[in-house]
């Protein structure tokens, strides 16, 4: 009888404890993911030849250079930089006029070919060896033109080139040394925008 009483009391204690246990009303789960695509930019043109330009002359590329956001859906902002080729002429800095054995390159993103006056030395200058400079509403851009052609906030639209790059070459005022081709390389880099 004592054993039965102990068992009965133990059973009553278990029932009382079970009545005090409550289920939680909510819970959570933390989610994570790794993006499978990445920032990426492609230029459809590997080289561009300005053809013949006289000493002290200027030229704008006659065919725009297509720049593609091929990231697979990431909005991008572009930056530009340039390096001189080894030997020969050197790029001027700060938008100053080229002198002997110097040249200047200015760049803008625009949907149609800009005029010479649309390039601004202070905002559009590509000096050789300079760190990459980010495009903006005024940098590497034609003032007052639509934002949809400029080098920032570029959406990836499959099957199209999203931006067009235009370059203005300013030739040396005089030449004392020969220049091999290519005389410079322009880099377009992308960052998530």
Answer yes or no: is 100 within a domain: yes
Distance CA(22)–CA(10), nearest Å, equals 21
Torsion-angle region of residue 184: left (phi > 0), alpha (psi -120 to 50) or beta?
beta
Whether 120 has a pLDDT exceeding 80, the answer reads yes
Give pLDDT tens digits for 56-90.
999 999 999 999 998 888 999 999 999 887 678 88
Domain containing residue 156: CATH number = 2.60.40
Answer yes or no: is 23 within a domain: no
Higher pLDDT, 193 or 171: 171
Range of the domain at 156: 41-192
Give the chain's domain count.
1
Percent of the chain predicted with pLDDT > 70: 85
What does pTM read for this prediction?
0.80
Percent of the chain predicted with pLDDT > 90: 49
Answer yes or no: is 122 within a domain: yes
The residue-averaged pLDDT of 133-137 equals 94
Whether 9 has a pLDDT exceeding 70, the answer reads no
Whether 112 has a pLDDT exceeding 60, the answer reads yes
Whether 16 has a pLDDT exceeding 70, the answer reads no
Answer yes or no: is 80 within a domain: yes
Answer yes or no: is 162 within a domain: yes
Torsion of CA 154, 156, 159, 163, to 10 degrees: 10
């Amino acid at each position: 009888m004592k054993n039965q009483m102990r068992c009965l009391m133990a059973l009553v204690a278990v029932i009382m404890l079970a009545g005090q246990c409550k289920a939680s009303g909510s819970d959570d789960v933390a989610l994570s993911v790794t993006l499978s695509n990445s920032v990426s930019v492609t230029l459809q043109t590997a080289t561009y030849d300005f053809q013949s330009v006289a000493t002290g002359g200027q030229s704008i590329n006659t065919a725009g250079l297509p720049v593609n956001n091929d990231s697979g859906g990431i909005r991008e902002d572009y930056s530009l930089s340039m390096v001189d080729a080894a030997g020969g002429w050197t790029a001027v800095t700060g938008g100053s006029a080229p002198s002997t054995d110097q040249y200047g390159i200015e760049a803008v993103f625009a949907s149609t070919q800009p005029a010479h006056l649309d390039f601004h030395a202070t905002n559009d200058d590509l000096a050789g060896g300079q760190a990459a400079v980010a495009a903006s509403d005024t940098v590497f851009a034609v003032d007052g033109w639509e934002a949809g052609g400029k080098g920032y906030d570029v959406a990836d639209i499959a099957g199209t080139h999203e931006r067009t790059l235009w370059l203005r070459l300013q030739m040396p005022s005089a030449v004392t040394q020969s220049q091999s081709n290519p005389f410079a390389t322009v880099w377009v880099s992308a960052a998530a925008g």
